[in-house]
Amino acid sequence: MNARKEPESVGRAASARPPLVRELLLVTALFLVYKFGRRLASGHTGAAFRNGHEVWDLERALRLPGEGAVQSLLLHGDGLAHAANVYYAAVHFPATVAFLVWLYLRRPVHYVWARRVLATVTAAALVLHLAFPLAPPRMLAVTGLVDTARVYGPSVYGPPATDGLSNQFAAMPSLHFGWALMVAVGLIVTTRARWRPLWLAHPLLTLLVIVGTANHFWLDAVVAAVLLGAALVLLRVPRGPSGGAGRIVRARHVPAGRRALVGAGR
């Protein structure tokens, strides 16, 4: 009986996996639309700086800890600041791609769910970037913060006036944090190891990095978390075992006598 269930479970998982070519085209199209949308949001320099000062004042009114408290930790040594810049530049996108690839191969049903959640959060972020352009704290003299990427390297941004590849006035919400938090949530939901809450170290470290490098305000991360929470409410986690066929394989090693007793009890 268990032997018959195993191929059925594997077959269901395979049938739930979307066609690879279609997924590659879809994800690429979503990425290009997002990049194009970010370019539409660029150029609002005056509004971005005004909004930046308002966010800074709001954080002080809310008595949030100053971003400088985190940055001061990074500035104790050039190596730490450089490592934070590398993390900001090199981990965000590859970690999210690796997460989606793993889900596609091992948890196809959850892959579709995670892709939809990420797409929803990213689309909502794009709307906010268009409606509320925001200069990051590293551009505001009032913050007294250092642009660690420019001083210690590496930097993913050029001078705002000539940077044609990115919109530096799209600080709120922080997709660095929103995507990192979704990666942690997705891995906690789809894995069964006792230590899986440790995946939350990824968004926590990302939060410290984006704030310490002066690329984002605290509120940028708060808004990203709210958007993710709303997306998770709208797009519920699919029902089904997170362990998939692995749990059924382990059931095959239960002694025959015990399986008989369990079957009789049913």
Sign of CA dihedral 67, 77, 167, 32: negative
Higher-pLDDT residue of 216, 38: 216
pTM above 0.85, yes or no: no
State the average pLDDT for the chain.
82
Domain ranges, ordered by start, for the chain: 18-265
The model's pLDDT over 215-257, given as tens digits with 9 standing for 90+, comes to 999 999 999 999 999 999 999 998 754 444 333 334 444 454 4
